[in-house]
Amino acid sequence: MRLADFISRDIEPILAQWEAFAATLQPAAANMGSLGLRNHAQQILQAVAKDLQTSQTRDAQREKSLGRAPVLINTTETAAQTHALLRARAGFNINQLAAEYRALRASVLRLWMDDCAPEVPDLDDVIRFNEAIDQALAESLAFFTAQVEQSRNLLLGMLGHDMRSPLQAIRVTASYLEALNAGERVSEAAARLIRSGARMQALLDDLTDFNRTNLGLGINVRATSVDLADVLADELDELRAVNPDRQIELQVSGNLQGVWDGRRLQQLLGNLVLNAIKYGAQDAPVRVIVSGDATHVRIEVKNRGDAIEHATLARIFDPLTRGPGYRGEGDGSDSLGLGLYIASEIAKAHHGAVEARSDETETSFSVSLPRVNEP
């Protein structure tokens, strides 16, 4: 008997084995009934049987092997994709999802071969069946990964949002304690709380911004008419106060009046300067050069230190990346490895870009921002 006919005839015994195996995938399957355990298994098997009955050229076979199977018309999701989506929502992990297909492959071939005995099973059916299972598995894994990623991003968004209120309460209370002037020890403790709260706030801001970009929302900017000379100077004053042992120089020239999100550009500059402080030579100043012409404003942050390797430089704006010379541990410079990524995204949100260069002389980050019309 050909395999497609066998699957159609014996689909119930096959589904029974699928259900029995799915029930062993704990803890996700612990409270699932038969319908949930068999989630779209029948439709997946019917799709496999239909594929086996469809003629296929060598070129079509090769395209399928490369993951370029024909897309079904008038179908938003295949059965394998829907199966993966529901498995992800039910709490299965990706290894369990793959194990279902591995068990399905083994059980179908074993049952069919037993049914064929003593005749030899059709080899072409075996090849085509494996192709169909691999295609269904690939569809499932892609959808499963996308669903997990979306759920994680939503969780990060909720976490960042819900942590802001208690953090704000801590910072306000610490500021109140500091203002009480209740003694040197209380004031020092309050100051530590304020600094720690500020670092936590910065981490939450980075996390929220990273989450927005992952969800495809981009960095949120509110452009107004600002003078970057004043805006960026204020940011550098705060950075000098937090890093009193480091020299941070500012040089400005040209027209720096324009329409941008001043708070976001402060964040961009702060991320670049903090990166220079972390990785640059401790005995050399961090230099910030801001210049404006008729069409663009340019912000450069330069520091002395070891040259960045070419491989690191190529991915320096990737999220969750730190350079090999990172000195954040133990010095209070907490980081998620998102600073340069977020700086780049802020520049993009202003229709600009950030470039990095590094050699034995210095490392430089250059931000180019186009001017826009007044709001």
* 375 domain residue, yes or no: no
> Is there a single domain that holds both residue 106 and residue 248?
no
Residue that terminates a domain, selected from 203, 218, 233:
218
> Is there a single domain that holds both residue 290 and residue 335?
yes
* 207 domain residue, yes or no: yes
> Is there a single domain that holds both residue 134 and residue 232?
no
The pLDDT, as a whole number, for residue 26 is 92
292-321 burial by CB neighbour count: b if 16+ within 10 A, else e? beeeebbbbbbbbbeebeeebeeebbebee
> Is there a single domain that holds both residue 241 and residue 204?
no
* 132 domain residue, yes or no: yes
What is the mean pLDDT, run by run of 10 residues, along the chain of 375 residues? 92 94 92 90 91 84 69 70 89 92 94 90 89 89 84 65 67 76 75 72 72 70 91 90 89 93 91 90 94 94 91 84 52 60 90 93 94 59
Handedness of CA 149, 154, 158, 161 (dihedral sign): positive
The pLDDT, as a whole number, for residue 171 is 74
> Is there a single domain that holds both residue 211 and residue 287?
no
Number of domains into which the chain is organized: 2
* 189 domain residue, yes or no: yes
Give the range of the structural domain holding residue 325, as residue numbers without chain letter.
Answer: 224-370
> Is there a single domain that holds both residue 180 and residue 311?
no
> Is there a single domain that holds both residue 67 and residue 187?
yes
Cis amide prior to 27 (ω within 30 degrees): yes
The pLDDT, as a whole number, for residue 333 is 40
* 51 domain residue, yes or no: yes
Nearest-CA neighbor of 121 among 131, 108, 133, 135?
108
On whether the CB atoms of residues 291 and 305 are closer than 8 A, the answer is: no
Structure tokens at 83: 């199966």
SS (H, E, C) the chain: CCHHHHHHHCHHHHHHHHHHHHCCCCCCCCCCCHHHHCCCHHHHHHHHHHHHHCCCCHHHHHHHHCCCCCCCCCCCCCHHHHHHHHHHHHCCCHHHHHHHHHHHHHHHHHHHHHHHCCCCCCHHHHHHHHHHHHHHHHHHHHHHHHHHHHHHHHHHHHHHHHHHHHHHHHHHHHHHHHHHCCCHHHHHHHHHHHHHHHHHHHHHHHHHHHHHHHCCCCCCCCCEEEEHHHHHHHHHHHHHHHCCCCCEEEEEEECCEEEECHHHHHHHHHHHHHHHHHHCCCCCCEEEEEEECCCEEEEEEEECCCCCCHHHHHCCCCCCCCCCCCCCCCCCCCCCCCHHHHHHHHHHHCCCEEEEEECCCCEEEEEEEECCCCC
> Is there a single domain that holds both residue 177 and residue 65?
yes
Residue that terminates a domain, selected from 175, 191, 218:
218
The pLDDT, as a whole number, for residue 71 is 63
> Is there a single domain that holds both residue 312 and residue 292?
yes
> Is there a single domain that holds both residue 205 and residue 296?
no
The pLDDT, as a whole number, for residue 225 is 92
Long-range contacts of 332-335 (CB under 8 A, 24+ apart): 332/195, 332/199, 333/274, 333/277, 333/278, 334/199, 334/202, 334/203, 335/278
* 213 domain residue, yes or no: yes
> Is there a single domain that holds both residue 296 and residue 182?
no
The pLDDT, as a whole number, for residue 200 is 74
On whether the CB atoms of residues 79 and 40 are closer than 8 A, the answer is: yes
The pLDDT, as a whole number, for residue 91 is 87
Is 0.75 surpassed by the pTM of this model?
Answer: no
* 37 domain residue, yes or no: yes
Residue owning tokens 């990785």: 279
> Is there a single domain that holds both residue 144 and residue 26?
yes
Residue that terminates a domain, selected from 168, 201, 218:
218
CATH number at residue 329: 3.30.565.10
The pLDDT, as a whole number, for residue 334 is 45
The pLDDT, as a whole number, for residue 46 is 92
* 21 domain residue, yes or no: yes
